[in-house]
Amino acid sequence: MHTILDPISASQLDAYLDQTEAALEQQDDADLDPELIQAGLKASMDGQRFRADTLASAGRLFRLWLRAGDPAAALRVIEGDGRDALAALPAAERPDWDLTLAFWRLEPLFALDDAAALRATLDAAFALLTSLPGALQYDKAWGHLDEQATRAGAHALSRRCAAARNALQHADPERAAYRAWDDALMAVRQAQSFALEGQETQAGEAAARATASLATAGPEQDIDVDDWLRIGHALFQIAPEAIDGVVRQVRALTPASTVFFARRDIDVRVARLEALTLHRQGARDQALARLVLGRSVIRGDDDDRYAAIMLDWLLEAGRHDDAARLAFESVFHERQVSAEHGTHAALRAVSEGLAGQLYWQLALAYAGMADDTMEVRGDESEAAYVHRHLALARAQAHAHPAIDAVEALFLIKSAGDYHQALPLLETAARDLSLAQSDVLFKLWVARIRVHGAQAALAMPFVPASSAGSCYNLGVNLGYNLKEQLPEGVTVPKDEIKALAARYYEIGLARFEAFVMSGEGNARDGHAHTYSMLCNNLAIYYRHDKSDAAAALPLHHKGIAASPFSEHYQGVLNCHRNSGDDAAMIDGAEQLWHYSADHGYSRHDPADYIDDVAAALHRLGRGTDIAIWLQRLDEWWASLEQDERAEYEKPYVRAVTSVLYHLAHSQPDDAMLRLDAMLPRVRTAATPYTSRMAAHALRTAGRFERAQAMYAEALRQVKPDDAWHETQRKAIVEGVAECKRLQRAAKPWWKVW
């Protein structure tokens, strides 16, 4: 006799869903076999009965059944519990949820491969979406329905979705400036849909409508280079003959004033589009030639996918030696996408015995020791796998710098054997293509470990393979060297900083040469890396060489290439160091506004606003000081409580200093604020802050109170501390000035 279980519902169902979803997340994080996870979930759910009494819980339950691999059960939840919950809603809420249920039905129907039911549901969703009031005809809903129709092969319906979405966009007054773009995008979707149906003529006509929409756009339409490139990438497979026109439009829309990385960035993107088009047209050699520039990594890239495309094209062309070298390069430099792609290509090439076995074997050897590709080893140990492929590579060429590079890195990784690795690294580093940042960093570490710091730093300089490697190496030398050395081994800081700066300088030259010529390493075109390099080198010039004049143009170059807040901070610091008050104030304005608009986690207005106030006072612009005091308070109000504890003393110091400068032009306002601040000044108990409070009181004519505050400041001076002694001197001078002003303020007849 079977016991009929009461269904789990309401709060019990919510608890069950919470626990089950949390358990699945833990299993995913533990990298358990997905099939085992699914089987366990299915067994657990099969032993229960559920009743979802809200649409939210119905949605969670149906997705859980999908995860368990039971789309039929998921569909039953929608048709049963989902429909019941829908019927219980107020009439005004039902249309929107009715559409949601239709969208939910699509996923289990795809899994069940029920073509008739799927098409009926798509048609019903189209009818529902069309019937909704305008406010509910969501743009994203039309896009989603278009995607699902395409997925189901319902291409005519997808074109109707694209047209309906376009009509909705035309009805939106806020999109008035984007009508030409919206029309072009609709035509692209239609072209893609016709192409999937095999209707080439109609596809070509739709593609022509897409480009014509942009080409004939009026001056009120917002059309730019990015729009043309997006359309080009969407159409090159459908209408490759249209791409020449797209490129002409890109060139025409590129302002003559576009300079530096922005222009080269466009060149790279155009080269990619032209390469893809040429390959589509069967001109493989020409496509490969354009991809030499096109594979350059630029700011908009998250990965190295164009190197993976080039690898495939080289293999198609039978250029196996070139393909092997590119696969090794991608794996050896551990590049996202192309490293994994190169690893799989190497596996196939080895099994097929293709030419270039030296580099195919080395690609596999390095893949076996790199974090992102180590799965290539399977169940074989790392040491056995790497040694096996190194031996196969040595069989191809006993002495080869690429073999030395991989072997040296493995000796260090597996055994920390810098002595045996050093001669291999020295040999490898002479081949510029192998001199990536990791090789050179470990070379310098090995030199120091084997020869000692002074002797190592006197050894020949070794250039890096790319501008990006120069930057990475400079960072590693500047910030990560100490942790790679044995305890007790020290290196002269100034010489290491100079070595890092030398790599930055070479990287700077490499980046700028690429921008000027379009030729160089594939890693020489990344504008943001260039900008970070400019920042680090500027810091070195300003901080270590006391050369603000050399640092300032680097910050401006970085801002032109890829701005971020540290550059604006650097510009301010350069002008502050050089004593240019007006320029420093302008720099502070730019820093304040850029940080407000773009964020700056290390933004510390307490570090510079008091200097801005001083500069405004010196320039006779005292009325502007109140603006900066308000900004200082805005920053303080934005801080969390733990941050306020950290910044309390700097904030009190900055406010007190600003009030001193404000007291010259607005003494009453300054005193009103200072009276409220004095308890925090006394708590801070630092001679500088107390001295500035005394200066403010003195400037406002509160001489007796100023004398008392100067006395407090003197008590806070620590003996035998050089900085405190400078404060003592300034306090004593302040006392004398206070007494002089107090005497001068007395009427001539008042002798007491």
Token digits of residue 257:
């004033």
- Of the chain, the end-to-end C-alpha distance in Å amounts to 113
Token digits of residue 217:
């756009």
Check residue 115 and report its DSSP letter.
H
Token digits of residue 564:
């971020």
Average of per-residue pLDDT values in the chain: 94
- Under a CB-based contact definition with an 8 Å cutoff, are residues 364 and 389 in contact? yes
pLDDT at 2 exceeding the cut of 90: no
- Under a CB-based contact definition with an 8 Å cutoff, are residues 131 and 155 in contact? no
Q: Which residue has the tokens 């790319």?
A: 466
- What distances in angstroms separate CA 26 from CA 12, 22, 23, 60, 69, one per listed residue? 21, 6, 5, 18, 19
pLDDT given at position 524: 95
- Under a CB-based contact definition with an 8 Å cutoff, are residues 300 and 229 in contact? no
pLDDT given at position 28: 87
- Under a CB-based contact definition with an 8 Å cutoff, are residues 354 and 319 in contact? no
pLDDT given at position 544: 96
When pLDDT is cut at 50, 70 and 90, the band that residue 534 belongs to is: very high
pLDDT given at position 240: 97
The answer for residues whose C-beta is within 8 angstroms of residue 726's C-beta and 6 or more apart is none
Per-residue pLDDT tens over the stretch 601-643: 999 999 999 999 999 999 999 999 999 999 999 999 999 999 9
Per-residue pLDDT tens over the stretch 166-214: 999 999 999 999 999 999 999 999 999 999 999 999 999 999 999 999 9
Burial of 215 (0-12, 13-18, 19+ CB in 10 A): middle
Separation CA 539–CA 292 (nearest Å): 34
- Under a CB-based contact definition with an 8 Å cutoff, are residues 266 and 288 in contact? no
Q: Is the pTM of this model over 0.75?
A: yes
- Under a CB-based contact definition with an 8 Å cutoff, are residues 219 and 179 in contact? no
Q: Express the helix, strand and coil content of the chain in percent, nearest 5 each.
A: 75, 0, 25
DSSP codes, 445-468: HHHHHHH-HHHHHTSPP---SSHH
Find the helix or strand (DSSP H, E) in which 601 lies.
Answer: none
Separation CA 690–CA 567 (nearest Å): 33
When pLDDT is cut at 50, 70 and 90, the band that residue 9 belongs to is: confident
pLDDT given at position 1: 38
pLDDT at 83 exceeding the cut of 60: yes
- Under a CB-based contact definition with an 8 Å cutoff, are residues 271 and 293 in contact? yes
Separation CA 454–CA 457 (nearest Å): 5
Separation CA 437–CA 518 (nearest Å): 22
Separation CA 615–CA 715 (nearest Å): 29
Give me the mean pLDDT over the 564-588 stretch. 97
DSSP codes, 550-573: HHHHHHHHHHHHS--HHHHHHHHH
When pLDDT is cut at 50, 70 and 90, the band that residue 752 belongs to is: low
